[in-house]
Structure 1
Amino acid sequence: MSAVHRANAWEISDSENDESDDIKASSSSSCVILVQNTSINEPNTSSASARADDGGISADGVQISGRRRRRRREEVLEELETRTAAKERRREEKDKLKQKKLQEQLRRKEAAERLNLLKPENFIKSLTAHIHAVLLQDAGCDVLLRNLDGLQWRNRIENQGLPNSIRWTQQALQQTEDEDKNVIEEDQVLMVISHNELEDMVMSHKTVTNQSALIGDMYEGAESLLDHLYKYLTRTAGKVVTILVMISHQQRSGSWDEDDLDLHLSQHHLDTEELLVHLQLYWNVAVHFLFGWQEVTDHVIALTKALSKRPYKALCGDPDLGFCMDGSWSAGVRVDRDGHGLAQVWTRQIQQLNRVSPAMAKAVTSAYPSPSLLLKAYEELPSEEERRRLLADLTVVGGAKERRVGPDLTVVGGAKERRVGPELAGRVHRLLTSQNPHLLLD
């Protein structure tokens, strides 16, 4: 500002000449211009420094504040973190899904292997027949051993347990550290005795039995086969023992057959019958009479095969009514409390008759929606012949007829309307009106 004042002073001075005035004027003007440039640049410098502190200028000249840049940087970082977290979650879900699929595949593989092991042809390989050493004293036991070896079934000779017995064990599917739990014992036990040993058991039972005591009590006395049997059944619960009595070949050749054997027992061995009844009623022990070791071997083989089939049948869950075939038609009909479903039950009842199609059953139930209505219609007719032919003229609609015109070509045409017919009408009449439970409907 002092330079400006001096310039003004020089411009109004009268003591200087024109030349000096021109020089001063020029110098003053230049000074003024310099001062003006300085005065113009100063605020620009201050504003630039202020902008430098507060932000910056973009390439297109738009001013961007520092706070906005920091906010944008935070938003970008937050967005990156969100994307990273979402990607990590997707990766974890994918890994979990993959692990779940692997576990499901492993579970299915184990189930398939277990099912394969439970099949009779494979499960029979895990069965072991334990034969008591007393049976080897009979030379005919070689027939049993040869057949088991020929079938490549595992067998073992032991000297413990019930004398004269044959029992079975199986290897557990899941092996554990405890060896005792790896072997599962079957509940079926065979006791093979001769006819003479049966007589000894009868005498033992007759000797120790007291009429005043309860049947089935244990008695002290000589250790006979009967005593061993009673102790074994008392000690091991859940065992099913079957006694196989072998009739020798001499007895068989001497005109022994089943009828003669029954007659012989009924006439001369009433005590034997008493023993058999006692064993069956109080100990659940069945007695079979067989001729020779070959029939005993056949019985052992049949029982072994039955044991091999039991786990697979239990796994498949056979229904109580094994004769029912699989299919939607064999399933039951749900009946609600309001009676919804009874019409379908009535249709199924007609359809269970032989050679009755669903269309024919539907024709009967459509005309008479309930059995009581059909019975009422029967009662209203005067003669038996009219009752049997009541349903004969009902019209059956539905279904299609197939006609084969070549080895690989079948033409399907529309079905014609037909009648129920007197044959089905008579069967339905017998079904609802007959009082004979043994009457054949066909």
Structure 2
Amino acid sequence: MDKMSALRRAKTWEISESEDETEVENKPTPQLKCQEKETTTIPSVTVSTDVKEEDANHDKTPPAPSAAKNKSRKTCALPLFPKPPAAPGTPSPSRKRRSKEEIELDRQKALERKEAREKVKAAKAQEKEEKKQEQQRRKEAAQHLKTLRPENCLKCLTVCIDPALLQQEGSDILLGTLASFEWKFSIESQQLSYSITWTRQLPENGDKIVEEEQVLLVIGWSDFLDLVPAVKRLDKVGDCTAKNSCLSPLLEFLNWDPKKVVTILVTDSPLEYTRSSISEDSNEETLAFDLGMDQLEIEEVLVYLQLYKNVSLTFLDGWQGVTNQIVAMTKALSKRPYKLLTERSELPFCVDGSWASGARVERDGSGLEQVWTLQLQQLNRVSAVVAATVTAAYQSPQLLLQAYQKLESEEERKCLLAGLLIKSGGKERRIGPEISSRVYRCFTSQNPQLVLD
């Protein structure tokens, strides 16, 4: 009997009075096994809430386990498995089903929002690309401007010298000067003998080489003496009868390329002849004696070459003067591209500034009234006060023309502006019939040769 009671007491998990409730809650619940049955059952977790004192004679007759549970404990059954979810097809009672129109409307709104986001994204990408292209254009423009500066453009120029010039005495001065400046030069045959030309390398066009228009032709004093009579014997068509002079190949060269600008350098001149020195009696007499011509005939030759053939003459002492002329021409050619770029303008005479007597017209039309006032001021004896009085009465030329059309007689039209009052310096006066008639003739006359005054 004692063994059976001990076995039954081992089956039941009891909490003594000395243990706290917190310790009971923290203790894990052991799995109880029943030795009497073969099947294993998972009992409910029992928590003792009311602990009573046992009888003094509990050793003699211990209560049954089932009776002890019913008396001294409250059982709290905690399910160990979660509640199965509801069926997926069952609608939620708080959610309302949407119609097809609402679904389609929401879909359309979503598509519109997506398109709006894509447009904003495309606009930002386009703006970024345009900004990148603008930066690239500015970079290329800055690089192009840098290459056009005279110090950089001078490195792209090459002085081309005809080999026949190197046979003359003193030509080594030219080669030494070009070498000291570290300029590019080449010795090659030219289309016009005894000439010097220039070529330019264009880095922006793939190092393309172009020829400059300037050409220097170096001749001696004896060649010049043969040139002047040959020019005098030219007929009206321009044919040259003196085939032995240097004028014949020069005219052929100009006919082949009319854009070339030729400058003839006359070396070893005994007089260093210029147009200013021809007025001197001694120079005039000596030159006329050598050429068999008077001053007027020589002037006619020089003017003919300058106006009809675009050929100018320069008289120099020797090769030092020729070298100085070539150096000056090379420096001028190096500055030419930069000057053309900075001076490029559609209307260079229409510049900004109050002193230029111009008016700026904005896109919204502001400034037209000032243009109308300045247009009236272009007439003779029409001051700024008179023009402002007319524009205050008629704000545009169209309104003035409409006022002229409403009048019947010619006299009324001429005197339309005569009665307008002009206030200046605290005094009042009228425009008068003379200015009124001049304005009327200016805006209504069909004769471009009409004199207004």
Category of TM-score, reference length = shorter chain: 0.5 to 0.7
Map 1:174-189 → 2, pairs under 5 A: 174-175=204-205, 182-189=208-215
In structure 2, the partner of 1:296 is 322
Give the one of 174, 194, 198 matched to 2:224. 198
What is aligned with 1:40?
Answer: none
Please list the CA deviations of residues 251-293 of structure 1 after superposition, one character each: whole Å capped at 9, or x if unmatched: 88xxxx8855444213432458264344234312111111111
Distance 1:368 1:173 in 2: 68
Work out the CA distance in 2 between the residues paired with 1:147 and 1:244.
18
- Rounded to whole Å, the distance in 2 between the matches of 1:339 and 1:277 is 43
Q: 1:241 and 2:262 equivalent?
A: yes
Alignment-mate amino acid for residue 247 of structure 2? L
CA distances 1:22-67 after superposition (whole Å, capped 9, x unpaired)? xxxxxxxxxxxxxxxxxxxxxxxxxxxxxx9xx9542xx34734xx
Structure 2 equivalent of residue 230 of structure 1: 251
Aligned residues of 1:131 and 1:157 also touching (Cα < 8 A): yes
SS at match of 2:330: helix
Aligned AA (2:151): E
Equivalent-residue separation in structure 1 for 2:425 and 2:137 (angstroms): 54
Structure 1 distance, partners of 2:229, 2:102, is 108
* Identical columns (%): 37
- What is the Cα deviation at residue 205 of structure 1? 5.0
Query: What does residue 76 of structure 2 align with?
Result: none
Report how far residue 122 of structure 1 moved: 1.4
Q: Give the conservation status (yes or no) of the 8 Å contact 1:56–1:63.
A: no
Change (3 A) 1:307 1:339: closer
For residues 383 and 217 of structure 2, the distance between their equivalents in structure 1, rounded to whole angstroms, comes to 53
Q: Which has the higher helix share?
A: 1
Q: Report what 1:84 is aligned to.
A: 114
Stretches of structure 2 that go unaligned for 5 or more consecutive residues are: 1-86, 360-369, 385-422, 432-453
Question: Partner amino acid for 1:156?
Answer: S
Tell me, in whole angstroms, the C-alpha distance in 2 between the residues paired with 1:330 and 1:276: 42
Alignment of 1:293-442 (within 5 A): 293-317=319-343, 328-334=353-359, 336-337=371-372, 342=377, 367=425
- Residues 317 and 339 (structure 1), Cα distance of their counterparts in 2 relative to 1, 3 Å cut: closer
Give secondary structure in 2 for the equivalent of 1:219: coil
Give 3-state SS (helix, strand or coil) of 1:167's partner: strand
Partner of 1:96: 126
Query: Residue 290 of structure 2: which of 265, 268, 279 is its match?
Result: 268
CA displacement 1:357-414 (0-9 Å, x = unmatched): xxxxxxxx96499xx99xxxxxxxxxxxxxxxxxxxxxxxxxxxxxxxxxxxxxxxxx
Q: Distance in 2 between matches of 1:159 and 1:316?
A: 35
Looking at structure 1, the residues matched to 242 and 289 of structure 2 have their Cα atoms a distance apart, in angstroms, of: 30
How many Å apart are 1:75 and its aligned residue?
4.3
Give the 3 Å change call, closer, same or farther, for CA 339–109 of structure 1 in structure 2: closer
Q: Highest CA radius of gyration, 1 or 2?
A: 2
Q: CA deviation at 1:93?
A: 1.0
Picking from 216, 219, 241, the partner of 1:219 is 241
Equivalent position of 2:59 in the other structure: none
What is aligned with 2:96? 64
> Do the aligned residues in 1 keep the contact of 2:158 with 2:185 (CA within 8 Å)?
yes
Q: 1:63 to 1:85 in 2, by over 3 A?
A: closer
Matches of 1:368 and 1:183 in 2, distance apart?
Answer: 71
CA 1:85–1:63 in 2, change beyond 3 Å: closer, same or farther? closer
SS in 2 for 1:265: helix
* Alignment: residue pair count: 286
Are the counterparts in 2 of residues 333 and 341 from structure 1 also a CA contact under 8 Å? no
Looking at structure 2, the residues matched to 329 and 270 of structure 1 have their Cα atoms a distance apart, in angstroms, of 59
Counterpart secondary structure, 1:64: coil
Q: How far apart, CA to CA, are the structure 2 residues paired with 1:70 and 1:234?
A: 87
Deviation at 1:336, TM superposition (A): 4.4
1:138 matches 2:159: no
1:85 to 1:268, Cα distance in 2 relative to 1, 3 A: same
TM-score after normalising by structure 1: 0.55
Q: 1:123 aligns with which of 137, 141, 153?
A: 153
Does the CA-based 8 Å contact 1:131-1:165 persist in structure 2? Answer: yes
User: Residues 274-293 of structure 1 correspond to what in structure 2 (within 5 A)?
Assistant: 275-293=301-319
Matched, 1:158 2:188: yes
Question: Using a 3 Å threshold, how does the CA distance of structure 1 residues 346 and 72 change in structure 2: closer, same or farther?
Answer: same
Q: 1:338 to 1:91 in 2, by over 3 A?
A: closer
Pairwise CA RMSD of aligned residues? 4.1
Secondary structure in structure 1 of the residue aligned to 2:316: strand
Segments of 5+ residues of structure 1 without an aligned counterpart are 1-51, 348-364, 374-442
